[in-house]
Amino acid sequence: MFNKNFLIENAKTLFYALIIAIFIRSLFLQPFYIPSSSMEPNLLVGDRLFVTKYSYGYSKHSFPFSPPIFKGRLFNKEPKRGDVIVFKTPADNRTDYIKRLIGLPGDQIQFIESNLYLNNSEILKSKISKNDIIFCGDKKLEVFTFEELLPNKKKYITVYSKNFTFKNSDLFQVPDDHYFFLGDNRDCSKDSRFLTSVGFVHKDNLVGKAQFIFFSSDKSVGSIFFFWKWNNSIRLDRFLKKIK
């Protein structure tokens, strides 16, 4: 027998659950998947992480499909140099990228002989290893691994190809209300160095701050649905790892 009340009550439950999910996703936490190797070795393809939406306030990009419900940012908070941030690319205001914030409004940034300069001062980096291998898409790169130190004392790991394929750049002057981002995998990252595809990112395009990895799997081993491969594909050592 058709039970109309049963269907109505279930529809209400699903509707309320959807509203709660959208509320949490828009204002508090949103999960993201890492599809590329541009942030290796700190973020790997297959990492799934949580981003806090409240860290820098809210813009239209805080909500699903970026509805034009208001302009600017509400409860705006300035990001800190060195933060790992998800943002919408200026090229289409739709695609999510994740990179490290290097340049603040008014900063000058330049690469000279593969060394990063910020406001005419070289960013200090200490070599940790000279025998590491990381991915760039499906290719493997032999890299030098460094610990870089920003002026605000933020430290993080970055890698440069042993060939130093990106040696010199123009001088980048960060405009007002914009930011300059770099991938930690310096020779395998489409970021603010490439003005036609990413370039300077407006503050309204910031989505949130990457906080920690909640799940990670190596897709090259196989899908997570292949449970018999979990011992090789799931990276337990990355679960609940804080993003620095």
What phi and psi, each to the nearest 5 degrees, are found at residue 232?
-105, -25
The first and second tokens of residue 201, run together, are 């990112």
User: Looking at residue 22, what DSSP letter applies?
Assistant: H
Yes or no: say if 40 and 143 are a contact pair by the CB < 8 Å rule.
no
Residues found in the chain = 244
Contact indicator for 193, 183 with CB cutoff of 8 Å: no
How far apart (Å, rounded) are the C-alpha atoms in residues 183 and 227? 32
For the annotated catalytic residues, the residue numbers are 38, 99
Closest CA to 210 of 103, 101, 98: 98
113: left (phi over 0), alpha (psi -120 to 50) or beta: left
Q: Answer yes or no: are the C-beta atoms of 51 and 28 closer than 8 Å.
A: no
- Among 209, 204, 205, 203, which residue's Cα sits nearest to residue 174? 203
